[in-house]
Structure 1
Amino acid sequence: MTETDISVKKDDNGAPQLSIADTNAYCSISHKNNCVVAGYSAAYPIGVDVENLESNKDYRRIREHYAHAFLKGVTTKEAFFYRWTLAEAYAKASGQPLLEILAQPFEPTDNLHYITISNFLVCTYVEANRDKFQRPKIIRL
């Protein structure tokens, strides 16, 4: 396989579409400051999101706006970022708009994995049933 056998294009919704040796795979990319995260799955839609835990993002305003739905019960900045990265990753995997997800009640799931790298929180969500979910492999550069 050569580098010309691998390509990333945008689908009709603007999401990345990975192709390896003419075989399509699900792909997700996220970046924040100097941190870039990418994930792929040959079998299931995947979403990744990264947030800087030291961000000055006005999480209280966002939390208050969606406190009746997806962010219900979130009381700390750390809890906000865990729920927010899940919402972003889920939106990417499902293709649903983020604002629609935030307007829905939060439903716990086992199809996700969190990892902290330095001051960055990474969430990976895979649209697979729990029996087939495998934790993502993390490659640190």
Structure 2
Amino acid sequence: MFNAAYRFPALPKTTPSVPISEKVLLSLSAAIDLNEAHLHPSELEVLNRRKQPQAKREYLSSRYCIKTLAQSLFPQYAQVPLARWQSVFNEQERALQLLIDGQLLDINVVISHSHGHIAVAMTQGRQSLLGVDIEKRDASRRFEKLAAHFYPEVEARDIGDDVDTFFRVWTLKEAYAKAAKQSISTLLSQPILPLLERFPAQVYCQPWRHFDLSLITAKAEVDLIGLALTTAGE
């Protein structure tokens, strides 16, 4: 039985009258084999360092989603070829940045991937609070022992033998870590609910396919956008 303390509202229905600049754009999809036409030269270097086919698919698909969503937020750049958009992870700021011809965009981008699927969340404003995580719910994993080892005692009790609660705690902590720009290793031993109560953001959670999804944002509007990845590069 899912522990009620970890239930949060599902993704809200979007309001057409609200400007896109005030929304979070969210794309969820399976990662697929794409050609490399949408990658910047520096991204090609990153791709070539990926050894596993699934990691390559996730990288190719996530970069296509990032750039396509950004075109919606910045229609003035809609005609700029995707290969001129460049995603770079800034280690110091713990943030994924997006540039066009070297110009940094005022945008916050957060991604998550699990078992060949990806989530990309994006909103205007680099300082906007935003975190997203997906994780495949897998009852075959020894989640009770994992909870007892990594999580505080109160969470291990809350989880008990319920796999859905275990993965909800997992995705909440991962999403919080991204929104707060903290290392997940510093959060595993801390109860997540008190942290969320003090956090100036809204929390949305729901199942998606065989995954659990958690989204943390300071904005009330979320557009769930389906992207046709099969057309990428054509």
- TM-score, normalising length from structure 1? 0.79
- For structure 1, list consecutive stretches of 5 or more residues without a partner in the other structure: none
Residue by residue over 1:63-116, the C-alpha shift from the partner in whole angstroms, topping out at 9 and shown as x without a partner, is 112132655522211011111101001111111111211222332446221232
Deviation at 1:26, TM superposition (A): 1.3
Q: Which AA in structure 1 matches 2:131? A: G
1:80 maps to which residue?
A: 166
Q: 1:59 to 1:50 in 2, by over 3 A?
A: same
Q: Percent identity?
A: 24
Aligned: 1:28 with 2:114: no
Aligned: 1:6 with 2:85: yes
Aligned pairs for 1:1-141 (under 5 A) are: 1=77, 2=80, 3=82, 6-13=85-92, 15-19=95-99, 22-43=104-125, 44-54=128-138, 56-65=140-149, 66-68=151-153, 73-75=158-160, 76-106=162-192, 107=194, 108-109=196-197, 111-126=202-217, 128=218, 133-141=219-227
Larger mean CA deviation between 35-44 and 113-122 belongs to: 113-122
Higher RCO (CA-CA < 8 Å; seq separation 6+): 2
How many Å separate the matches in 2 of 1:15 and 1:69?
31
- TM-score, normalising length from structure 2? 0.51
Larger mean CA deviation between 43-52 and 3-12 belongs to: 3-12
Residue by residue over 1:24-53, the C-alpha shift from the partner in whole angstroms, topping out at 9 and shown as x without a partner, is 311111111121101112231311111111
Count of aligned pairs between the two proteins: 136
Q: 1:83 to 1:50 in 2, by over 3 A?
A: same
Q: Is the 8 A contact 1:29 1:38 kept in 2?
A: yes
Q: Looking at secondary structure, tell me which structure has more helix per residue.
A: 2
Larger mean CA deviation between 63-72 and 48-57 belongs to: 63-72
Q: 1:19 to 1:104 in 2, by over 3 A?
A: same
Larger mean CA deviation between 59-68 and 69-78 belongs to: 69-78
How many Å separate the matches in 2 of 1:5 and 1:22?
12
Q: Looking at secondary structure, tell me which structure has more strand per residue.
A: 1
Q: 1:71 to 1:96 in 2, by over 3 A?
A: farther
Q: Counterpart of 2:106 in 1: which secondary structure?
A: strand
